[in-house]
């Protein structure tokens, strides 16, 4: 198994000889990874905003932590 340093060096060597197509693919992969690390994509943010808006408009539709905890404990036999 390669260490992080070995993997980085291998990737650097591949990048040095990469054509434009591979470089664009690597760039897209890095950007996608960074989005995930920084809290998700725009699509995920939109979904969360929609859910928050729904909750704010319909607070009675939610469940308390106690209700959720009891439900989980019953479902998994805890």
Collapse the DSSP code of 75 into the 3-class scheme (helix H, G, I; strand E, B; otherwise coil) and give the result. helix
Task: Provide the domain count of the chain.
Answer: 2
Residues 34 and 50 in one domain: no
> 32 and 3, same structural domain?
yes
Q: For residue range 44-77, what is the model confidence (pLDDT) as tens digits?
A: 888 989 999 999 999 888 888 999 999 999 999 8
Residues 32 and 2 occupy one common structural domain: yes
Q: How do residues 14-50 score in pLDDT, each as one tens digit?
A: 999 999 999 999 999 988 887 766 666 778 888 989 9
User: Do 33 and 53 belong to one domain?
Assistant: no
**Shared-domain flag, residues 7 and 29:** yes
Would you report the helix, strand and coil content of the chain in percent, each value rounded to 5?
Answer: 80, 0, 20
Are residues 35 and 47 located together in one domain of the fold?
Answer: no
**34 alpha carbon, distance to own chain's centre:** 9
Domain that holds residue 28: 1-40
Q: Which residues contact 55 (CB under 8 A, 6 or more apart)?
A: 61, 62
């Amino acid at each position: 198994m390669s260490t992080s340093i070995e993997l980085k060096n291998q990737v650097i060597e591949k990048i040095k000889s990469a054509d434009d197509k591979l470089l664009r693919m690597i760039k897209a992969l890095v950007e996608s990874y960074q989005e995930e690390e920084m809290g998700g994509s725009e699509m995920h943010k939109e979904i969360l905003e929609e859910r928050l808006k729904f909750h704010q408009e319909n607070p009675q539709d939610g469940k308390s932590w106690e209700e959720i905890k009891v439900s989980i404990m019953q479902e998994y036999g805890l």
